[in-house]
Amino acid sequence: VDEFELIRRYFVRANEGSGVIVGIGDDAAVLQPDPGRELVVVVDTLVSGVHFPADIAAADLGYRAVAVNLSDIAAMGARPRWMTLALTIPAAGEGWLADFAAGLFEAAAGSGVVLVGGDTTRGDSVVVSVQITGDIRQGDAVLRSGARAGDTVFVTGTVGDAAAGLELLAQGRADEYLASRLLRPCARVRYGQLLPGRASAAIDISDGLAGDLQKLLEASGVGAELDLDRLPLSDALCRHFDRDDRLRFALTGGDDYELCFTAAAGTAPDGDDVRVTAIGTIVAGGGLRCHDQHGVVAVEDGGYRHFR
């Protein structure tokens, strides 16, 4: 089977009504943006052995490549629309491609994004680059830089699950829920679109809540005061790990793909099926300070300790 036949077989899907004038098959895609809307563009590359283990299931990889990009689009408050895929693989095994495509389209399902083109190349190891173009009403993009003293800090879902899932896998133990949080992160695409006009700033959590929130604080020129007792933790995380580990995963564990955002009103937009938790307050000055019911807690790389 020739290369384009493989692309046609696994990557061409119907995409009517999605602003696609020309999709896969020509030299380039031709897309029709809606009037009054700005384009929001993200790209993320996953390299075998760096961003995922070489023995990852093809479907999990396809899913992940899309989900991490959708998460960035969600953090801007934008609506995902069009996606391109640059795929480098050692050999085009049809089973692998079918599984990869199934995972890719599973992650895209329901988000409104359609695959409009890409590039397929042979190389020594697997490298997947997904680029997504979203759109948003003119001037509505939610930036990292808009947080102001007095705003409330919110986070969606629960934090620390992906890192906990990874730790359990490394120990040869398994928890179905935590493993799914690691392997099938759910980008908050629909909730993100509720943020424009309501959130002052937002970021998605890919490297850990503490580190990513700090990026938002720096961009906004403010600090934050976090209440660690209010961090939303899943039952599964609490079942498997003690308090020290829970906090370590919640604050410094990566790959959660939840949204952290700030809002002046002190209330978050209501998202029917998404848990949203107030975890702290934006303050003047800089830096991230944490406390729990016992007092101030110092958060360090990979750990935390009480000031006594």
- Cβ proximity to ligand ADP: between 4 and 34 the closer is 4
Among 73, 85, 202, 250, binds ligand ADP (CB under 6 A): 85
115 binds, among Mg ion, ligand ADP, none (CB under 5 to 8 A by kind): ligand ADP
> C-alpha angle 5/7/13, rounded to 5°?
110
- Within residues 114-173, the interface with ligand ADP by CB under 6 A covers 115, 117-120
244 binds, among Mg ion, ligand ADP, none (CB under 5 to 8 A by kind): none
- Cβ proximity to ligand ADP: between 14 and 170 the closer is 14
Counting contacts by CB under 6 A, is residue 31 touching ligand ADP?
A: no
Q: Between β-strands 30-31 and 20-22, what pairing exists: parallel, antiparallel or unpaired?
A: antiparallel
- Cβ proximity to Mg ion: between 119 and 300 the closer is 119
Among 16, 26, 242, 301, binds ligand ADP (CB under 6 A): 26
Q: How many CA atoms lie within 13 A of 82 on its CB side?
A: 25
Among 87, 107, 155, 178, binds ligand ADP (CB under 6 A): 87
Among 34, 94, 119, 300, binds Mg ion (CB under 5 A): 119
128 binds, among Mg ion, ligand ADP, none (CB under 5 to 8 A by kind): none
Q: Return all residues near 58 (Cβ < 8 A) that are at least 6 apart.
A: 95, 96, 97, 99, 100, 103
How far apart are CB 129 and ligand ADP at their closest, in Å? Answer: 10
How far apart are CB 28 and Mg ion at their closest, in Å? Answer: 9
> C-alpha angle 231/50/255, rounded to 5°?
15
Terminal Cα distance for the chain, rounded: 68
Residues in contact with ligand ADP by CB under 6 A are 4, 7, 11, 24-27, 85, 87, 115, 117-120
Residues in contact with Mg ion by CB under 5 A are 119
